[in-house]
Chain A
Amino acid sequence: MMRPPLSRPTLVGLGLLAVALVLIPLSDLEVIATDPWSEVLRFGAGLLAPSFPAGAELTTTLAYTIGIAILGVVVAGCIGFVLSAAFFARSIRVICAVLRSVHELFWALIFLQFFGPSPLTGLLAIAVPYAAIFAKLFAEIAEETASPSAQVIPRSVDWVSRYLYVRLPDLWPHFKIYALYRLECGLRSSAILGFVGLPTLGYHLESAFLEGSYPEVSGLLILFYLLIASVRHWARPATIPLLCLAGLFLLPWNAYPFDMGNVLRFFAEDIVPSPLRDSGLSLSAALLRLWEWLGDLWSLQILPGAVSTIQVTMLALALTGILSLVLFPAISPLLINRSGRFLGNAGLIILRSTPEYLLAFMLLQFWGPSMLPAVVALALHNGAIIGHLVGRHTGQFAMRPDTPRRRLDRYFYEVLPRAYPQLLAYLFYRWEVIMRETAVFGMLGVATLGFYIDNAFSELRLDRAMLLIAVTAALNIGIDYLSRRVRAYARVGVTADTAA
């Protein structure tokens, strides 16, 4: 034997690469636009000459974007906190897994049926999946955080005091850091909700982009980055209650009439599979029709949608891994000097603050609809996130004083072997996130499950839409399970605090 046996993490990485190489010839990765680069150049020119929206429009856009994000995240945080205490119950874990597996844009499409483009739709679209995410993360943090004082306080102390004096002081700092990170995600989500008609930043971004007025796009993007970059300064324990109150009073909650009849009809009629609605049929005839309905849906929408969703997901996962390997040195103190790290950090911050949905939307306008823009957008965004986490982590490696001087040698022999297991853990942790986004990219025209879901909603076939969403959720839960199995096989892991 002339070589060391391959380690499990290496085998997993090579396996992923092999899957991607098999998929490439089977996938539609064409650039359809005839002249893709001239539009990119126009966009670049527009970026350099930003124009900002006027006062009133600016205020409403920001109020909507921030208001929906803050209220959504705060409501989700409170519900998630309560749910996390019951996370030991299997039923709660299952419910949370289901709520989490549906993307906030799909939730928005559902709530639009009840409330129209009201701020309430945006709030719920964020609060529902985020509450489930909070519940899981809070529960994981609680599991990993030890409270040494638990042993020494008297046994007879009631559980509320016990929690407040013993547990909460140890957990609170972790909860706070995670909640702030979630608020950043909430802002991105809230901006993206503009793509389904809520008047947030994304709404204006989409229309400016489709009109080709790139200076306006540039102005909105700059606003967006400023908003994300400054979260830490304006979202503080003291200001959050004020911001919530402002949101409650300023946003037009009653602008769209709410009709209880709509909601009842949604559950009693709209989402019932259409063959079952005809009461004139006998039971056996109805079941036969239902069988045909399911069969058609399976072969024409579910199967092709699921296959291309998985295809894009796997290609994006592989490219994300490759990009993370290339990007993390850009901020690693072991591999690059201070000024290089400054540039690296700036680049990674821009890439990871740009929502992948927005990146995909822009690339699709440039290159035309194929899987390529989706794969590239997912890889850029997620590669930057993982690159940031891993690069920061390499700062903790203790290097011997006689570490190789040539940077490439140091990368391959000293840094990569130590960083790779962690990188793989982050990568597979994001597998399920990547799949959820992939599905939703269908709304942009890539033929993933979201494409069929969007069509079903616009044709008002809500029965079909709900079934497709359920399939997407099931696929997501399946990938989440698979990801856990892969991480267990490779024996790699990350702590809850840094994972998301």
Chain B
Amino acid sequence: MIETGEVADRPVIRLEDRSIGYGEDRPILSGLNLEIFPGEKIAIIGESGAGKSTLLNHIYNDSQNHAVLIPQLLGLADNLSVFHNVYMGLLDTQPFLSNLRNLVQPARPQVAAVRALLEELELEDKIFQRPTQLSGGQRQRVAIGRALYRGADVLIADEPCSALDERQAERMLSLLVASCKTCIMALHDVAAACRYVDRVIGLKDGKVEFDAPPGDLSDRDLAALYRTVTPA
């Protein structure tokens, strides 16, 4: 079941005939037209190298104030605890001295808030461990935790579930779409993506191949996106 959400008139993100990449002559993405409205849940799919990360980072830079990012490399501070890595999501809303205090000795209310969130992520027992002691999937959930702790209007996530098993991936996807009003996510599991979003953008060779609700997509549309080798 997908909740469509009310589509307001003003887009949160608008790209008009935009080219993105290294300078004029080597664009990774070219001639891009894209409008994203509040409440939309969008999956971006395509082969590796199609320009998904480039597009997401560009959207993030365009909309910094109300967006939150889960980067592909996660950006965890490995020498700080899981608590600190999640708490970091709200650093800029707290006075500096309180941030310093929480760095040295985490305060009770903050620990409680982070612990509640970590329970949903099934990480509550890891709260004071370092990311280096965690598995790849657990590290990914820490990065998801940081984004959810921030709780911005627009979530931009680059393969947020790539290291998770099927059950965890579905849990996290439903958590993300339920917690964030607008979601823009690069996803590799097309079938799962289609269950949680209301719009799928297919990228190929730096161009938008299709942009449609999942129900309108045929297997041929999807096959065209990936260079499938046809048996002789």
Residues of A within 8 A of B (CB): 1-5, 7, 398-406, 408-409, 412-414, 417-418, 420-421
Contacts and interface: CB of A to CB of B under 8 A. Distances in A.
A424 to B, nearest CB: 11
A4 B68 contact: no
Interface string B105-123: 1101001000000000000
Interface of A (DSSP majority class): loop
Interface residues of B, number: 31
Most buried by B among A4, A404, A408: A4
B96 A413 contact: no
Contacts of B196: none
A339 B96 CA distance: 25
A29 to B, nearest CB: 27
A404 B61 contact: no
A408 B100 CA distance: 9
B128 A1 contact: yes
Given A401-B61, A403-B75, A404-B92, A2 B80 contact: no
Interface string B37-58: 0000000000000000000010
Given A402-B75, A409-B92, 19 more contacts: A2-B105, A2-B106, A2-B108, A2-B111, A4-B80, A4-B84, A5-B128, A398-B75, A400-B74, A401-B57, A401-B60, A401-B69, A401-B71, A402-B60, A408-B99, A409-B96, A413-B103, A414-B77, A421-B79
A405 B130 CA distance: 23
A295 B30 CA distance: 85
Nearest to A5: B128
Interface string B66-82: 00110101110111110
A1 B111 CA distance: 11
B100 A412 contact: yes
Contact of A402 (B71, B78, B103, B111): B71
17 contacts: A1-B128, A3-B106, A4-B81, A4-B106, A401-B57, A401-B60, A402-B60, A402-B71, A404-B88, A404-B91, A406-B91, A406-B96, A409-B92, A412-B99, A414-B77, A417-B77, A418-B78
Interface of B: 57, 60-61, 64, 68-69, 71, 73-75, 77-81, 83-84, 88, 91-92, 96, 99-100, 103, 105-106, 108, 111, 128-130
A413 B84 contact: yes
Contact of A409 (B81, B91, B106, B128): B91
A400 B92 contact: no
B140 to A, nearest CB: 14
A4 B69 contact: no
A185 B198 CA distance: 66
A3 B71 contact: no
Most buried by B among A2, A399, A400: A400
B90 to A, nearest CB: 10
A285 B71 CA distance: 81
A373 B61 CA distance: 50
Contacts of B73: 398, 400
Most buried by A among B64, B68, B77, B111: B77
Contacts of B88: 404, 413-414
Contacts of A3: 105-106, 128
Contacts of B92: 404-406, 409
Contact of B79 (A399, A400, A409, A418): A418
A403 B150 CA distance: 13
Contacts of B71: 400-402
Contacts of A398: 73, 75
A420 B79 contact: yes
- Nearest first, the 9 closest Cβ-Cβ pairs linking A and B are A400-B75, A4-B81, A4-B128, A417-B79, A402-B69, A409-B91, A404-B91, A417-B77, A400-B71
A134 B106 CA distance: 47
Contacts of B78: 417-418
A399 B76 CA distance: 9
A65 B215 CA distance: 82
